[in-house]
Structure 1
Amino acid sequence: MLVVVDILDIPSSPSTILTINRFLIDYFGQPPPTKSAMTTVVEQLKTMAHSLSLLITALDDVPCTESELHTLDTIAATIQDASLAIQKKTGSFRPPRNDRVWKSCEEQRSKAQSTIATLLAEGKLQNASVFKRNIATIYRGPSSSELDSRDVKRRKGVTQRRCHRLQQLCPDSIVSWAVSYPPSSWGGGNIADDIFDCLVEDIQPNDTKAWPATVRELLVKIRDAEIQDCPGLDQLVETPNDPSRYTADENYKSAPARAIVTAPGAPADEHREMKQMFSSAPAARVLQLPQPFREAVQNSMLWKWERGQGRGTTGTMATLFPKDATQDVSFTIRCGHNDGYRLNDTYGFKLAFSS
């Protein structure tokens, strides 16, 4: 039986600290240092994670009986549940993607990416009113009335929770969402939770966006005229403070690209002989990959097999070094079959050869 404790809501009372100390002593055989409850928990979890990674690595060369394998399965489930609890508290948790749901919202995602690309390319908002209404909805929530029926209150409650979810995103994600989806398209009762989750996941960028100056100007107007004393909106307007994040509209069109001088023969055409390959990275390093690569790797058959075997390392990532030190090094990942096609679509890959 696993009891998952909401560690961020633990009060720092003497009785609570004593309970935590007893729990940790049972696991580590020694009392933790006398500090605040939260600091103690974090430090002991860090120690536990380090010890666990060493033990898992040792499993690779140790044969197991059927009984031991069954016990390891139980331990793995416990560790997985604990990991999910921590990820939910840190905000890094992403629910497993449902291919059916992902496919069903493909048109919405495609339109959103097109809208964002047009804004970045042309420097003008296609529909400023949608942007303003979205920002107002996200930071003020839906309006309420004593005359609202029970069903209306329920739907507005869903919208309020979604507003809170959107507020937790990075500034680029919030702006991307606000220019892409009208409030009427994502409020409670308009789309299911799983569709909303997919759209939120997809809207999170893999790089920093250089928004046109008109975006910040509108945000400032909304803050000063409509939504005052809102820390979240203040942060969205002022973060980051680097003015290079916003490009002046009159200078928005990029200058002609410089000609790139290359040596005869493209590097891709060079005859490359491999000298070294590096792999078997700690499995936890996969969590440091940005999306969509992290999820793509975790959907690979190799990753799932490694986790099923309890391995502490992974072969899903590798670097290939050529014999010629002047040639490029290749960094490769293994990903799920369907995820490979999604990466093709996301980054616009073209078919190079087929067999």
Structure 2
Amino acid sequence: MALLPYFVLSFLFFFLSLFYVTFHSSNNRVMSAAAAVSQLRGLLEKANLLIPKISKIYPNEEQWEALGDISKSLTTTATRIENAIRASKESRAERAWKESEKLRSHALACKGELLTNGRLKQPPVFRRNITTIFEGPKDSKFDSEDVKVRKALTRQRCEQIRQLSPSGVISWAMAYAPSLWAAGSMSMEVFTCLLDDIEPDQCPPWPSIIGETLHMLLDDEEFLSASLEYREFLKAFDCLPDVRLDRPRKRSRLDNGHSEGRTQMSQTSPFDEKREMKHMYTNPDPVCIDRLPEPFQTAVRESRLWKWERSQGMKTTGCLSTLFPMDNTQDVSLTIWCGNAEAYNINDEFELELAASSQHLK
């Protein structure tokens, strides 16, 4: 059989190679979406250029037959490409969920480590993230058009992150470096998947390092200092339950390092020890009472102190307090203010026995 015109063979080879690389590679990341669009567009342009040339050639019978077979194969292959694109589009959410599994696990681990140890795993990443989220990527006179487009898309992602709750923004900032989630580095499907997953179901008890860092950024970053949106975010964070910006570290507030060397249990009952108060902690946000188990929660709400505080519109409550002794080897007293009748009910429910009584003589 005579050879087919060279441009027909080259066109066929290019088309089939593109289909194989794009849709049959075992590595889903061999070709980017932009590259696939570019090559398919180039393929279409070449096909359009080929059409007027067909009318100017004089194939023999075998070549006519070959051209017919090739055109049918091209039609079949084009249909397969169309079906593959449709299937890929329909499965993108599922693929993004699977692809983002390690990233979601990483975010969960970062949050768990922070809440357990009270320390940020990567403080520079957290600070850089907060700044980027509220300021966006910085422009340069040397940015190419492609870079300008990516930065514009990244600013849109920053805006989406800012729509999260304060806890959602914090969870994102501690988990994913800006270079990871910027446009061009992460697909929109994966970004959206992570964004939907990062929002906590409940507000975590953020350690003081988070509030301290956020306030230091306000003073250190010129853009954040002038940003009304960042100040609103900071205000919302400060109002979260369990947020305490001024509480010191656990060791410094309790024992100042004097608890080392406790090797033996005292033979004296703690009831008989001389106790002198060193610290009292109280005045938490009233929402903390919601986390008390029953019957204590109801008992607190029936106390006169609780009702008086609420009638005065107070933003804290004295119904829950802890008393720390001078001796850091001694136990801490937890005090809960209860309604009188409710306290007797607690006595009955937990079978508390009368241990001491004061009789007033007339």
* TM-score of the superposed pair, with normalisation by structure 1: 0.43
Point out which structure has higher relative CO (alpha carbons under 8 A, 6+ apart).
1
* Higher Rg of the two aligned structures: 2
